[in-house]
């Protein structure tokens, strides 16, 4: 099993604020996005990732996020198993983002 890199929400905010060239991939389900989301994220639910790999530009660093970091870690592992690298799991997911970065964000 490959060691998956992690990124915290402060580092993610810095990447977004400085317009770094990377992909933020949200693997939560559609109904979760109705509650809260980060606008810049590409949304592909975890269940359909294998059929939608062509939508992801693996030439860029990829930060994968979910609610708390569990599903995104699984997706990072899946990508690593497919031979991709430059992957980061968002530690604590959107829950940490809401707690530490955007207290106005709805949580669930």
Nearest to 33 by CA among 23, 45, 24, 50: 45
Q: Who's near 83: CB < 8 A, 6+ residues apart?
A: none
Enzyme catalytic residues: 66
pLDDT level of residue 80 (50, 70, 90 thresholds): very high
pLDDT level of residue 1 (50, 70, 90 thresholds): low
Q: List the domain boundaries for the chain.
A: 5-100
pTM to 2 decimals?
A: 0.96
Q: Report the CATH architecture of 5-100.
A: 3-Layer(aba) Sandwich (3.40)
The C-alpha angle 98, 104, 108, rounded to 5 degrees, equals 55
- CA dist 18 and 69 (Å) reads 23
């Amino acid at each position: 099993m490959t060691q998956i890199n992690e990124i915290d929400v402060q580092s993610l905010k810095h990447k977004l604020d400085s317009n770094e060239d990377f992909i933020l991939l949200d693997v939560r389900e559609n109904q979760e996005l109705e509650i809260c989301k980060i606008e810049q994220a590409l949304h592909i639910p975890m269940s359909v990732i294998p059929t939608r790999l062509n939508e992801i530009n693996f030439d860029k660093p990829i930060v994968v996020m979910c609610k708390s970091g569990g599903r995104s870690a699984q997706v990072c592992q899946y990508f690593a198993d497919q031979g991709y690298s430059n992957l980061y799991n968002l530690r604590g997911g959107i829950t940490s983002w809401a707690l530490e970065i955007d207290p106005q964000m709805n949580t669930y």
